[in-house]
Amino acid sequence: MELRHLRYFVAVAEELSFTRAAQRLHIGQPPLSQQIQALEAEVGARLLERSKRWVRLTEAGKLFLDDARRVLALSEQAMQTARRAQRGEAGELRIGFTFSTPFTPLFATVINRYRQRYPGVTLTLHEMATLPQIEALPARTLDLGFVRPPEVAVLDTVRMTTLRQDPLLLVLPVGHPLAQQEVVAARELQGLPFVMYPPTAGTGIYHQILRLCRAVGFEPQIAMEAGEVSSIIGLVAAGCGISILPGSFNSIRMEGVCYRALAEPEATTTLLLAQRKDETSPLVEAFVALALAAAQEEQRRT
């Protein structure tokens, strides 16, 4: 049974005339009659009663008509959905983001704009460190990722696009002597206890801190490790040490903590949008285009 057979039957059932149905379908009347007879044979039930003067639906035909209309409506809906997906207007996007990403205004701008422009697309958001995101892209469990520069070499199958630069900020207890300075040089942190993400967390910031300290001649003394940024800031407030975090986190205002700029020009981190290099999905292409446009707008304002 083909969809055209259902369309033929619906036309005859609605017109109650083979002549008018044939005109409506732009086919000849004899082929239409043959197709209806073939449909009845395949269904195994008489759907229409006909004479030279009239056509009537049988009881089986009335019930079949309801289902035929539903099938045709579903097929039309399926075609419309496929066309919308081809235009990047329907489907699902699975997007990863690092712990600091939601604190950047750009992230909220991109997500809100995308939802407004493509309401038929389901956005599934996953908070993940950078390395797990990069591994999830070729595995096709993520479609896009907001990431920070990874320490390891990026897989050949992953493309990175720069969205924005964020300063790295020193996080201090308010009573710390260095809190009296507006700008602190990295060499002044030698000998101080650090509170950091664990190296196994897969965050790029861990290795950035190591490079920053080693560049001025010392290894950071890691006093405590915490997997959540709120825990790191809380431990700094408790006097357990200092930390260095992306500047987007300075919106987290916790009593007993202050943020200070670092003097080194390289004390920055980049927000990147990661995707598969062989990606052909219109949904991904539309999201990347929107994210880049928002990033360019942000740069023009700053």
pLDDT tens, 150-166? 866 667 889 999 999 98
Topology at the third CATH level for domain 167-268: D-Maltodextrin-Binding Protein; domain 2 (3.40.190)
pLDDT tens, 204-262? 788 889 999 999 999 999 999 998 888 999 999 999 999 999 988 888 888 999 999 99
- Tell me: domain 3-87, CATH 1.10.10.10, correct? yes
- Global pTM exceeds 0.85: no
Backbone angles phi, psi at 141, to 5 degrees: -100, -10
Phi-psi region of 191 (alpha: psi -120 to 50; beta: other; left: phi over 0): left
Q: Is the dihedral angle over the CA atoms 138, 141, 74, 66 positive or is it negative?
A: positive
Class of domain 91-163+270-301: alpha beta
Write the CA distances from 45 to 58, 63, 82, 299, integer angstroms: 9, 11, 34, 69
Residues of the chain with CATH 3.40.190.10: 91-163+270-301, 167-268
pLDDT (0 to 100) of residue 1: 78
